[in-house]
Amino acid sequence: MTGSRERDREDATMTDPEVQLVVCPDGPLLVRGAIDLRDDEGNPIVSRRRTVALCRCGNSAIKPWCDGTHKLLRPHGGPAS
């Protein structure tokens, strides 16, 4: 029963009335707070973190999450294609 209570407490801390989006130049979209994230077929994508980095370059091996591949695509601060 204790495990169930701990999970409920963790779920409660994942809900945050405020969601912040930060667009990182030449990098991912940082999402802070609880969001309902879904794939292209409408299936839920579960994240156990309060802050996630979503890939914007399209080349991540762990989509939808950013894996840093964007750093290899063009020099930092260079023009976007």
Question: Which contacts of 1-9 are long-range, i.e. CB under 8 A and separated by 24 or more positions?
Answer: none
Tally the domains of the chain: 1
Per-residue pLDDT of the chain (81 residues; tens, 9 = 90+): 444 444 444 444 455 579 999 999 999 999 999 889 999 999 999 988 999 999 999 999 999 999 999 999 876 555 554
Does 64 reside within a domain? yes
Q: Give the Cα separation of 77 and 50 in Å (integer).
A: 27
Does 80 reside within a domain? no
Q: How far is CA 58 from the centre of its chain?
A: 14
E strands of 1-81, at which residues?
Answer: 20-23, 29-32, 51-54
Does 78 reside within a domain? no
Beta carbons of 69 and 40 less than 8 angstroms apart: no
pTM of the predicted structure, to 2 decimals:
0.68
